[in-house]
Structures are given as C-alpha cells and as structure tokens.
Amino acid sequence: MKARITVYPRPEVLDPQGKAVHQALSRVGFEPVSAVRVGKSFDIELDVRTKPQAMKLLEEMCQKLLANRVMEVYEIEILGKAKAGKSGQ
C-alpha cells in the first residue's frame, strides 16, 4: 500500500525557509503569493493488507520519528495499492 506523509511547521512556529521562498517568489514576479510554508514529504510503501493497518503504522512512524510533534504537524494520505512487481526484471 502506498502512502504519503507531509510534515509542516505548526502555524504558530516561525518558518524562516518559507519566508525566504516567499520573498524570492516576490522578487521574480509572483507578488500575488501571500505566504509560503515549507515542509517535507515522505512517500512510503507498506506491505500491509488493510487501510487501518497502514494508518496505525504510519501514525506510529510520525509520532516516533518523522515529525517533531512539538513544532510540526503532519498529514497522512493513503495513495493506493503498491505495484505487484515490475515486468522485465
């Protein structure tokens, strides 16, 4: 099963990287951009059969390693079934 975890700084936490990207976008002509938050994304493939099993594992991963829960929030998205195998290999 494929999943994507996206981690962002909490809204109340300053995001200097997001501010720098926002300023750079303005400098190159994208003035309508009002704010940018920079995060990180993890694409993960799991060998599990059900969505509840996947969600349980993904939550544990976020809480133990992938997100600093004091300063970050995360979103988990199930993308679908993993490919069974690649032909020609």
Range of the domain at 16: 2-78
Dump pLDDT digits (tens) for 47-77.
999 999 999 999 999 999 999 999 999 999 9
Question: What is the residue type of 3?
Answer: A
Domain count, the chain: 1
pLDDT per residue over 21-53, tens digit each? Answer: 999 999 999 999 999 999 999 999 999 999 999
Rounded mean pLDDT of 2-16?
A: 96
Spatial CB neighbours of 16, under 8 Å, sequence gap ≥ 6 = none
Q: In the prediction, which pLDDT does 81 show?
A: 74
How many other β-carbons are positioned within 10 Å of the β-carbon of residue 10?
14
CATH number of the domain to which 20 belongs: 3.30.1280.10
Residue 85 lies in a domain: no
Distance CA 22, CA 61 (A): 30
Q: What backbone torsions phi and psi does residue 45 show, to the nearest 5 degrees?
A: -110, 130
Residue with tokens 């996206």: 6
Position 33 scores a pLDDT of 96
Strand pairing report for 72-80 and 40-45: unpaired
For residue 88, being part of any structural domain is answered with: no
